[in-house]
Structure 1
Amino acid sequence: MQFDHPNTVLLTKRRRGFCAKNDKLYQLGREMKLTRKFVTITLGGALLAAVTVGSFAIWYVYEPEIEKIARPDRNSFDPAIVRRGEQLATVGDCIVCHTSENGVPFAGARPLPTPFGTLYSNNITPDEATGIGNWSEEAFSRAMKRGVARDGSHLYPALPYEHFTHVSKDDLHALYAFLMTRQPVSQLAPENNLLPGLGFRPLLAGWKMLFLHESEFEAVAGQSDEWNRGRYLVDGLAHCGGCHTPRNLAGGEERGNEFAGGVAEGWNAPPLNSSNPSAKSWTTQSLYNYLKTGFDRGHGAAAGPMGPVAEGLSNLNDPDVRSIAVYVSSIMGVDKSKRADAPELIDNARAAADRHPEGAMLFQGACAGCHEPGSAMSQQGRPALSDLTTLKMDDPTNAAAALLQGVAAPPGKSSFMPSFAQNMTDKQLADLLAYVRTRFSNQPDWKNVEKSVASARSEE
C-alpha cells in the first residue's frame, strides 16, 4: 500500500487551487474578450450607421452648383411667349413679393415677416451680379420646383415652391422668358433676420423632405377644361393655399386640411371651402367680380394682402380669372343649379346702441355717412355691413386691421375707407367694433376685442 507524502498531498491541493483559480481567470478573460468583441461590434455598427446616415444626409442636403451663363439676349425670346410669361407672373403675383416699397419692380428687398423672423425677397431681374441674369433656364426651373438656388443653396419656402412644383415646363419657360426680358436692376437684398439657427440653410433640406411633395399636375377626369385650368392655377402659380391653408408649427401646410383658412401678414385668410361663413352667398360670378375688380357688391372690397392680389388679377385675361372662380366656387360648395342665397340684411340698431353706447356714438361720427343703411353713400354701391365676411368671422382680427390700415380703392374706383389708426385709441376702436358686430350680425360677441386691436396695430 502506497501513501502520499504529506508534502505531496499539500502540493496537490495547492495545484488544484491554482487550477481552480486559473479556470476562473480563464472564464473571466473569456467573458472580457466576448464583451470587448461585443462592444467592438456594437461600436462598429453604430459608427457604420452614423456614417451611413451622415452620408445620406450629406447626399440629401447637397445640391450641385449650376454653371453661370452669359445673360441671354432679350431679342432671343419669342414675344408671344414673353407675353404669356407676363400673364403667368400676374397669376403668381411675383411683382408684389419681389418689389420693395417704392422700389423697382422685381428688384427684391421686400421684407416678408414670418413667425420665424423676417426674410427679404431676392432680386429676380436679369442683373448678372445681384439678380438672375446669369441663371440658365435649368437653374431657374430647379429654383421654382425644388427650392434650390443656382449656387446650390437651399431657398426658404417664402418662395412657395411646394406649389410651383406643379407648374408645367412650358409655363416655366414662358415665365423665364418674361423675367429675362425685364430691365436689369442692381440691388442686393438685406440680410435675413431669423431666429437663431434658422439661418443655417442645410436645415431646409429636412423641411423639404417633410413638406415638399414634388408632382406634376394631372387633370381630373370628368371635370371640365375650365375647372381643371382653375385647379392648375390655384394649386400652382397662384398658390392660394399658401395663405388660405393652416400651417403647422414647422411652417408646413397641413395636408388634408387644404383651404380651411390661414394667416397672412397679420390678417386671417378666410376658408375657401364650405366652412367660409359667407359660402352660401357666393356665386361663380361674384367670385369672378371680386377677383377681377377687387370688389363685389354683395361682399365688399378686397382688403389687406388680398388687395394687391386683386389688383394684379385685374390685369389677367378674363378666361383665367373665370377658371379660378369656377374652381374656387366648386370647393366652396356653391350649387350651380341654384342662385346663391341673398345676403341677410341685419340691423339690430337699438340692441347695439343699448349694449355699446360709446361704440354707437363713434359709428355715427365716423362711419354713418357711408355705412348707415339708407345713407346717400350706401346707395352708391357701398356694401351693407351685414354682407361682409369680416363681421361674420370668429375673431375681430380682420375688422380691426381694416379700421387701422384702411381699405385701398379697388382698381378703377375712388378712395374707399381711410385709416383710423391716428384718430382713435385701441379702446375706442374696440367699442366701435363691438357695436358694429352686434348691430350688423347675429353672431356672438367677440372676446378680447381691445387685445385684438392692439395686436393688429403692432402689425402695421
Structure 2
Amino acid sequence: MNGHWLKSSTLWRSVALLGVIGLIGAVLLMWRAPIAPIERPSGFTTAQLQRGARVVEAGDCAVCHTRPGGHYLAGGLPLVTPFGTLFSTNITPDAQTGIGQWSLPAFERAMRQGIARDGHFLYPAFPYVHYRRMSDADIADAYAYLMSGPAVQAPPEQNRMNFPMNIRPLVAFWNLLFLHGEPMQPDTQRSEAWNRGRYLVDGPGHCAGCHSPLNLIGAEKSAHYLQGGSVDGWQAPSLVGMGQRANPWSREQLLGYLRAEVVDGHGTPAGPMRPVSLSLARLPVSDAAAISEYLLSLEGPQAVTETMPNTATLDAATQTSGALLFASACAGCHGPAAPMRQIDGRPPLERTSALHAASSRNFLKTVLEGLPATPGSPGPVMPAFAASLDHAQLAALAAYLRHQARPDQPWTDLSSTLEALRQDSQ
C-alpha cells in the first residue's frame, strides 16, 4: 500500500509540475516587453515621405483611423465586430495619445506581430496578419510619413468587447493559431504588374479581411481565399472568377471601379468599398491596373455557361407598384432619358452588379443608405430612402428591378433581408 501511495504522490507531483510549466509558458506567451519611448524623429527625405504617403493610402489607414468629422488619422471610428465594438486608435505623432514616442522597431513590431509599443496586444481587427507581408522598405516609409504629419491629441475611446475577448492577452493564442506568413517574394513566372497587384491585395490592401469568410473566432478561412465575406452589414463579393461570370468584368471595367468611377455594366462602389476605391483613386493608376490584372487571373471553381433563361413571371401588383416607385423615386437619375445618365455615364440599373448578385442585401443597403457625397472628391451622389420607402415598397421595387436584371432568378430573401437590415439600423 505504501508503494502505491508513493506512485500516486509521484504522479500528482508530475502533473503539478507540468501544470506549473504550462502556466509559465502561457504567461510568457501572453507577455511582451515594452520598447523604450523615443523623441519624435524628423529629417525624413521628401522622396521617402512621398513613398510613405502612397503606402498609407494603399493600406487604407485613413479609412479606419479617421472618424467622420474627426482629424485625419486621429482614430475614434467605431468598428463593430461579432465580439463587440472596437474604436480605432490615434496614429498621429502625438506623444501622449498617438505614436509620437514609437521607434521604427516598435512600429515594425505592431505591423508584423500586432503588439503595441508598451507591450499590449492589438486586436486582429488591425490587419497585422496582412501587414506582416509588407516589405521592410514600405513599413519604414509608412512610419516616416506618419511621423511627419501633424500631432493631434485624441485620447482613445473605451472599447466595448464581449467576454472573453475583452481579455487582451488571449489574443496571444489567436496569434499562435493564425499569425503566419512572411514578407512576400515575387513569382518570377509572372509579370511585374501581376506581382505588384498580388502584393497590394495580400499585403497593404488586406482585401481578404473583408472578401474572405471568417471562422468562429474571426480568422480568415484560407481555403476560401477571396471567395466572399461580410462587413458592416454588406456582402463583400467573391473576387475569384470575376471574368467568368454571367455578367463578367473586363480589365477596363475593374480598373474604373477600383478608382471609384461609374462603370458601364457594374455601377460604382458603395458602402465600405466606397472609401477604399477613393483611396485607390489617389494612387498612381498603375496600382489599380496591377490589382485588376491580379484579380482577373484568379479563376473561379468553374466557368459560367450561359443558357436561355427560364423566365419567371412577376405578379401584376408587384409589377405595377415597382414600376410606379421606379418612375417616382429612381427614374430622375436612372431612367433612360435621365440627364445624369449622360453626365456621369451611369448604366441602366438592370446591368449593375448589385442587381445581378445572388442576394438582395447590397442592393437594399444601397437604397436604404444612399451614396453620400465625399467632400473634395468627385463621384455620384444618391439620397437615402430608408425614411421615405416602407418595407412593402422596398420589396416591390427590388423585385421589379431584379426581374429586369435576372428574370430567371427572382430574389427569395427580400422580406427576411429587409427585416434584418431595419433591425440593424435601430
- TM-score w.r.t. structure 1 length? 0.86
> Per the alignment, in what secondary structure is the counterpart of residue 86 of structure 2?
strand
> Equivalent residues in 2 for 1:336-351 (5 A)?
351=314
Of 348, 366, 370, which residue of structure 1 is paired with 2:333? 370
Partner AA of 1:33 in structure 2: N
Partner AA of 2:124 in structure 1: P
Shift of 1:270: 0.3
Work out the CA distance in 2 between the residues paired with 1:280 and 1:227.
23
Of 429, 433, 451, which residue of structure 1 is paired with 2:416? 451
Of 172, 175, 179, which residue of structure 2 is paired with 1:208? 175
- Asked if residue 111 in structure 1 is aligned to residue 78 in structure 2, the reply is yes
Shift of 1:141: 0.5
> Per the alignment, in what secondary structure is the counterpart of residue 222 of structure 2?
coil
- Asked if residue 258 in structure 1 is aligned to residue 222 in structure 2, the reply is no
Can you list the C-alpha shifts for 1:16-54, whole angstroms capped at 9, x where unaligned?
xxxxxxxxxxxxxxxx21221221122112112212222
Structure 1 residues 350 and 445 mapped into 2: Cα distance closer, same or farther (>3 Å)?
closer
Q: Name the residue aligned to 2:361.
A: 397
Note if contact 1:351-1:439 (Cα within 8 Å) is conserved in structure 2: no
> Per the alignment, in what secondary structure is the counterpart of residue 268 of structure 1?
strand
Shift of 1:137: 0.4
Shift of 1:293: 3.3
Work out the CA distance in 2 between the residues paired with 1:426 and 1:131.
45
Work out the CA distance in 1 between the residues paired with 2:290 and 2:282.
15
Work out the CA distance in 2 between the residues paired with 1:82 and 1:298.
38
Work out the CA distance in 2 between the residues paired with 1:420 and 1:276.
33
Partner AA of 2:52 in structure 1: G
Q: Name the residue aligned to 1:158.
A: 125
Note if contact 1:352-1:438 (Cα within 8 Å) is conserved in structure 2: no
> Per the alignment, in what secondary structure is the counterpart of residue 331 of structure 1?
coil
Work out the CA distance in 2 between the residues paired with 1:163 and 1:292.
22
- TM-score w.r.t. structure 2 length? 0.92
Partner AA of 1:39 in structure 2: S
Note if contact 2:243-2:296 (Cα within 8 Å) is conserved in structure 1: no
> Per the alignment, in what secondary structure is the counterpart of residue 202 of structure 1?
helix
Shift of 1:350: 8.4
Q: Name the residue aligned to 2:135.
A: 168
Shift of 1:330: 1.0
Structure 1 residues 63 and 51 mapped into 2: Cα distance closer, same or farther (>3 Å)?
same
Note if contact 1:294-1:311 (Cα within 8 Å) is conserved in structure 2: no
Structure 1 residues 271 and 130 mapped into 2: Cα distance closer, same or farther (>3 Å)?
same
Largest Rg, 1 or 2: 1
Shift of 1:130: 0.2
Of 380, 387, 396, which residue of structure 2 is paired with 1:431? 396
Shift of 1:435: 1.5
Q: Tell me how large the CA RMSD over aligned residues is.
A: 2.7
> Per the alignment, in what secondary structure is the counterpart of residue 240 of structure 2?
coil
Structure 2, unaligned stretches of length 5 or more?
Answer: none
Work out the CA distance in 2 between the residues paired with 1:332 and 1:188.
46
Shift of 1:190: 1.2
> Equivalent residues in 2 for 1:24-423 (5 A)?
32-73=1-42, 76-274=43-241, 278=245, 281-332=248-299, 351=314, 353=316, 355-373=318-336, 375-380=338-343, 381-408=345-372, 413=378, 415-423=380-388
Structure 1, unaligned stretches of length 5 or more?
Answer: 1-31, 334-340
Work out the CA distance in 2 between the residues paired with 1:35 and 1:279.
74
Shift of 1:117: 0.9
Q: Percent identity?
A: 39
Work out the CA distance in 2 between the residues paired with 1:359 and 1:311.
32
Structure 1 residues 50 and 443 mapped into 2: Cα distance closer, same or farther (>3 Å)?
farther
> Per the alignment, in what secondary structure is the counterpart of residue 297 of structure 2?
helix
Q: May I ask how many residue pairs the two structures share in their alignment?
A: 421
Q: Name the residue aligned to 1:22.
A: none
Structure 1 residues 220 and 415 mapped into 2: Cα distance closer, same or farther (>3 Å)?
closer
Note if contact 2:211-2:237 (Cα within 8 Å) is conserved in structure 1: yes
Note if contact 1:352-1:435 (Cα within 8 Å) is conserved in structure 2: no
Q: Name the residue aligned to 1:337.
A: none
Structure 1 residues 328 and 408 mapped into 2: Cα distance closer, same or farther (>3 Å)?
farther
